[in-house]
Amino acid sequence: MSNSTLVTGGSGFIGTWVLRELLARDAKVVVVDVQPVPARWQRVLGQRAAEVTMIESSLLDRDRMQAVIEQHSVAHIIHLAALLTPVCQQDPWLGCQVNVLGSTALFEAARRSGRVRSLSYASSYAVYGPEAGDAGSEPNRPPTFYGAFKQAVDLIAEQYWRHFGIASVAVRPHVVYGPERDQGLTAGPSLAARAAALGENYTIGYT
């Protein structure tokens, strides 16, 4: 069986566009997400959505995640699954379970499988404080639970490299925007652009 790429959170905004890029390269793709959004895939991926293997599962099920990695010959992981800022602020316990424990479970499943060659994941600009200068020039002071959880995952990823040799690459997006962005604290620019295209009024809330 040829190697595949596992995308967690592949039903989300970033995940869907990542799938489009992977499919354009004829990659074999497996998605793990708790809530499929077939309409979004249809709009962005078109007929190629049928090429994606969709598995409805929580990252917290570590044993199942390891089974997915092994059964689908996963060699590459792109980890995007997370609860966004509003949910984490309203329910920090749930946010911690999904964003921190779920990420740890995925790292552990990758370690136990012994077959993952690359692991990249979405950190966030939210790890920096509101007065941060150049990235990395000052200690991180995340102003939200979401940012704190993302920073925790960064530290956990470092420990998996230090103790087990599990290498990973983190990206820290700031404001992401584009078609299909409809959730999250910084969705305003995308929603405003859509409203403008429809001839509707829209006020970006955090300006």
| Nearest C-alpha neighbor of 4 from the set 67, 72, 57, 56 | 72
- What is the 8-class DSSP label of residue 77? E
Q: Report the residue count for the chain.
A: 207
Q: Distance between CA atoms of 203 and 192, rounded to whole angstroms?
A: 7
How is the chain split into domains, by residue range?
4-174, 180-207
In the CATH scheme, what architecture does the domain 4-174 have?
3-Layer(aba) Sandwich (3.40)
What does the pLDDT look like over 142-186, one tens digit per residue?
999 999 999 999 999 999 999 999 999 999 988 776 665 666 566
25 pLDDT band (50/70/90 cuts)? very high
Dmax (CA) for the chain in angstroms is 55
190 pLDDT band (50/70/90 cuts)? low
Question: Containing H/E element for 163?
Answer: helix 145-164
pLDDT at 129 over 80: no
Mean per-residue pLDDT, 22-34: 97
Q: Distance between CA atoms of 30 and 80, rounded to whole angstroms?
A: 13
Task: For residue 69, give Cα distances in angstroms to 52, 111, 167.
Answer: 15, 11, 17
pLDDT at 176: 74
- Identify the sign of the CA torsion 86, 128, 152, 59: positive
201 pLDDT band (50/70/90 cuts)? confident
Over the chain, what is the mean pLDDT? 89
Backbone region of residue 120 per phi and psi (left: phi > 0; alpha: psi in -120 to 50; beta: other values): beta
Identify which has the larger pLDDT, 25 or 190: 25
Mean per-residue pLDDT, 17-46: 94
- By the 8 A CB rule, do 78 and 27 touch? no
pLDDT at 140 over 70: yes
pLDDT at 130: 72
Q: Distance between CA atoms of 156 and 50, rounded to whole angstroms?
A: 35
What does the pLDDT look like over 40-87, one tens digit per residue?
899 889 999 999 999 999 999 999 999 999 999 999 999 999 999 999
pLDDT at 29 over 90: yes
pLDDT at 199: 75
1 pLDDT band (50/70/90 cuts)? low
| Nearest C-alpha neighbor of 63 from the set 22, 108, 103, 114 | 108
- List the strands of the sheet with 4-8, edge to edge: 53-56, 29-33, 4-8, 74-79, 118-122, 169-171
Mean per-residue pLDDT, 88-100: 98
- At residue 186, the 3 state secondary structure works out as coil
Provide the percentage of residues in the chain whose pLDDT is more than 90: 70
